Amino acid sequence: MKVLLEAKNILSMVVIVFLLSIITLFGIMQFRFFTGILDSYENDMQQVVVNKTTFFLNDLTAISENAAKRIVSQEQETRSILKLISTYDYRIVNVYLLDAKGNLQDALVNKPEDSENISWLGRPTQLSVSPVHVDQATHLNIVSFGRPLHYKDGSQGWLVLDFSIDQFQKEIMQEFAGENFKVALFDNQGHPIIWPFDQTKLADFRSQPTKFYDHQSQFDVRKNEVGTAKWQLYFFLKETHFETFRAIAVIILVFVLYICLYQLLVEFWGVNSAKTYFENIDFAIFNQINEGVILSNNAGRIIFANKAAQEIFVERKNSLRNIKLKEILGHIDENQNLIDKSKTFTLKVSDRLLEAIHSPIIKQRKKLGSLTVIRPNVKEEKTYRNVLSRLVETIPEGVVYVDKNFEVVAANLMAKLYLGNIETGTNIYSVDPGLAAEINNHIGSRSVIRTGLSNYDLPCEIAPVYDDDGVYAGTLVVLLTALHDNNPACPS
């Protein structure tokens, strides 16, 4: 019955561990799959924005390059060429020519010489892109592309095209205006081209460009630089705490799996420790009692033995820790049912008969271990006590034994004749104060003291008694007869 019950427990634990393993593995794979989908979606969204921005800048670069080639060819009058260039793209707001020093030579739309700051123009060998600014005439957001010109006569200059970016801004803001994914765009000077939040939040973002908070929402920020214009794209990904949830869920699943696996191993090997179920108990308290106490687990291995138990079996084992219980008690713990009650048996150790009580520790019909208590054989002690009592009765002298509390424990018939009707439990002071004083005066003595009782004109011997630890336990008083007193063999 026990084997069948244990087999059922082990089988059920195997099934639970198997199912939990499948669930944990499936959960980890699913989390990784979902994480991959989310990462792929976010990367795709970012790539779409990068592609749109790159295409926009490349398109403007190509238009400015074609326009510069047309100017250098000088196939038409300059004014006509500027008008023709303005038709290349609907986003062109103005076209103008500068000399090598940056002075205005001609413009499609008349512009004062100091209306534009041309410090953004770089070396006359490469394309230059201005910061985004507002056109004073049209109030449009403008970005200027400056192309260096090298004429056939050896002179140099600049072709500048002003492009409106309003349409591009609207497209980006409308297409990526979700709650979980937002896009910000800054020019090469750090001026905002697209900003999806309140303008008051711009300063907070510039102070901490890796994390952003808006209306109790946290965003992870990623950066990407695009095009020759070196525009900076920032992607705001709303924190969903999916990674945290995934980590917590996986930890919980693994922890539950670990507990079940541990329980399975415990059931399989039967080594669950009874001591672990009583962690709040100070086992050292068992060292204060005289009985031997042994605690063992289901594997029959001793996990605790108090000092008394160590002293009882000191001749067999130097230490009882981590040894098999059957090495000192035999096979008492074998072939026992889980619901067995305690059993008592006699144990012989060093020519002494000891009484042992062995009991399983049961919790919710589950055996946690065993508890064994060993004490001197009560029947043997009772027999010795009866023998001693009969011996005292047969002694011709009066014998009285007084315990450490000065109460009479035993007195034979001769003592009662000499001292009166002395009963067990009577205080010796009420019987004979003189005798009580003699007993008290000789506590601590290690020899037999010869004295006399003046009230009865009777000699006596007083012998203090001590236990195994040397602690005073009582006093034995022997009342001597006159014949015994005159015997020369007696001490004087």
Higher pLDDT, 275 or 80: 80
| Res. 70: pLDDT tops 80 | yes
The token pair at 467 is 């236990």
Give me the percent of the chain exceeding a pLDDT of 70. 83
| Res. 363: pLDDT tops 80 | no
The token pair at 232 is 């900076």
Q: Per-residue confidence at 483, pLDDT binned at 50, 70, 90?
A: very low
Grouping H, G, I as helix, E, B as strand and the rest as coil, residue 39 is helix
Q: What confidence tens digit (pLDDT) does each residue in 421-432 have?
A: 788 889 999 888
User: Which DSSP string do the residues of 3-24 spell out, in sequence order?
Assistant: HHHHHHHHHHHHHHHHHHHHHH
7-269 CATH: 3.30.450.20
233 φ, ψ to 5°?
-95, 135
Q: pLDDT value at position 332?
A: 66
Give the mean pLDDT of 61-71. Answer: 88
Cα 99 off chain centre by:
73
| Res. 348: pLDDT tops 50 | yes
Q: Per-residue confidence at 176, pLDDT binned at 50, 70, 90?
A: confident
Helix (H) or strand (E) holding 479: strand 472-479
Q: How far apart are CA 295 and CA 57, in angstroms?
A: 82
Q: How far apart are CA 41 and CA 235, in angstroms?
A: 13
Tokens 């952003």 belong to residue: 212
The 8-class DSSP code of residue 278 comes to: G
User: Quick one: 274-376 is in which CATH superfamily?
Assistant: PAS domain (3.30.450.20)
Helix (H) or strand (E) holding 99: strand 92-99
34 φ, ψ to 5°?
-65, -40
Higher pLDDT, 167 or 318: 167
Task: Spell out the residues 6+ positions from residue 1 whose beta carbon is closer than 8 angstroms to its own.
Answer: 337
Among 320, 284, 294, which residue's Cα sits nearest to residue 372?
Answer: 294
Give the mean pLDDT of 271-294. Answer: 69
| Res. 200: pLDDT tops 70 | yes
Virtual torsion, Cα 356, 362, 365, 367, nearest 10 deg: -80
Question: Residue 356 in contact with residue 345, Cβ under 8 Å?
Answer: yes
Grouping H, G, I as helix, E, B as strand and the rest as coil, residue 394 is helix
| Range from 142-156, 168-182, 194-208 carrying the lowest mean pLDDT | 194-208
| Res. 215: pLDDT tops 70 | yes
Q: pLDDT value at position 252?
A: 81
Give the mean pLDDT of 156-173. Answer: 89
Helix (H) or strand (E) holding 353: strand 352-363
| Res. 112: pLDDT tops 70 | no
Q: What confidence tens digit (pLDDT) does each residue in 232-268 have?
A: 899 888 877 667 777 787 788 787 777 777 766 665 5
Note the maximum CA span of the chain. 166
Give the mean pLDDT of 354-365. Answer: 82
Question: Residue 393 in contact with residue 412, Cβ under 8 Å?
Answer: yes
* Beta-sheet pairing, 211-214 with 302-305: unpaired
Question: Where are the domains positioned within the chain?
Answer: 7-269, 274-376, 380-486
Q: pLDDT value at position 274?
A: 55
Task: Spell out the residues 6+ positions from residue 228 whose beta carbon is closer than 8 angstroms to its own.
Answer: 57, 61, 127, 129
| Res. 114: pLDDT tops 70 | no
Q: What confidence tens digit (pLDDT) does each residue in 432-445 have?
A: 888 899 999 999 88
| Range from 47-56, 114-123, 195-204 carrying the lowest mean pLDDT | 114-123
Question: Residue 180 in contact with residue 231, Cβ under 8 Å?
Answer: no
Higher pLDDT, 118 or 160: 160
The 8-class DSSP code of residue 470 comes to: S
What single letter denotes the amino acid at residue 323?
I
Cα 172 off chain centre by:
47
Question: Residue 402 in contact with residue 474, Cβ under 8 Å?
Answer: yes
Give the mean pLDDT of 24-30. Answer: 74
What single letter denotes the amino acid at residue 414?
M
Grouping H, G, I as helix, E, B as strand and the rest as coil, residue 409 is strand
Q: Per-residue confidence at 482, pLDDT binned at 50, 70, 90?
A: low
Q: What confidence tens digit (pLDDT) does each residue in 323-336 have?
A: 888 888 876 655 55
Class of domain 380-486: alpha beta
Query: How big, in percent rounded to 5, are the helix, strand and coil portions of the chain?
Result: 40, 30, 30
Virtual torsion, Cα 102, 106, 112, 118, nearest 10 deg: -30
Q: Which residues pair with 410 in a beta bridge?
A: 401
Q: How far apart are CA 285 and CA 297, in angstroms?
A: 19
Q: pLDDT value at position 317?
A: 79
Stated length of the chain: 492
Sign of the CA dihedral with 107 first, then 109, 114, and 119 last: negative
Instruction: Tell me whether the CATH fold assigned to 7-269 matches the one assigned to 274-376.
Output: yes
| Res. 293: pLDDT tops 60 | yes
Higher pLDDT, 281 or 417: 417
Among 56, 230, 67, which residue's Cα sits nearest to residue 146?
Answer: 67
Give the mean pLDDT of 16-32. Answer: 74
Question: Residue 157 in contact with residue 137, Cβ under 8 Å?
Answer: no
Q: How many CB atoms lie within 10 A of CB 332?
A: 18
Q: pLDDT value at position 380?
A: 63
Q: pLDDT value at position 314?
A: 82
Q: How far apart are CA 28 and CA 250, in angstroms?
A: 7
* Helical ranges in 74-218 per DSSP H: 78-86, 166-175, 202-207
